[in-house]
């Protein structure tokens, strides 16, 4: 029987795991944060709303990704 396609054996940090966890955490944490911050801003039309979501959401996504990566790297160092 051939090896499953979804099987991985990463050397170092598992970037697939990092990407998946970043995606989920950004939705779970980032979406409510953007919604709360949008209550303080004047957003009269859809282009301004989209621009606001990108300006606030992008840093949230980057910070979440960096934190998840650093956590995965820290856990890998503990396991080694």
Confidence label for 77 from pLDDT (cuts 50, 70 and 90): confident
Residues in the chain: 80
pLDDT, one tens digit per residue, over 45-61 is: 999 999 999 999 999 99
CA distance 73 to 80: 11
pLDDT, one tens digit per residue, over 2-12 is: 666 766 666 78
pLDDT, one tens digit per residue, over 60-70 is: 999 999 999 99
Place of tokens 């039309």: 45
CA distance 18 to 38: 28
What is the per-residue pLDDT for 27? 94
Spatial contact of 26 and 64, defined as CB atoms under 8 Å apart: yes
Q: Give the CA count within 13 Å in the CB-facing half-sphere of 14.
A: 11
């Amino acid at each position: 029987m051939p090896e499953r396609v979804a099987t991985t054996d990463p050397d170092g940090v598992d970037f697939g795991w990092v990407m998946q966890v970043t995606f989920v955490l950004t939705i779970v944490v980032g979406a409510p944060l953007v919604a709360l911050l949008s209550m303080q801003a004047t957003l009269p039309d859809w282009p301004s709303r989209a621009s606001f979501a990108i300006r606030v959401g992008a840093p949230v996504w980057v910070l979440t990704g960096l934190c998840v990566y650093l956590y995965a790297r820290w856990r890998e160092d503990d396991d080694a």
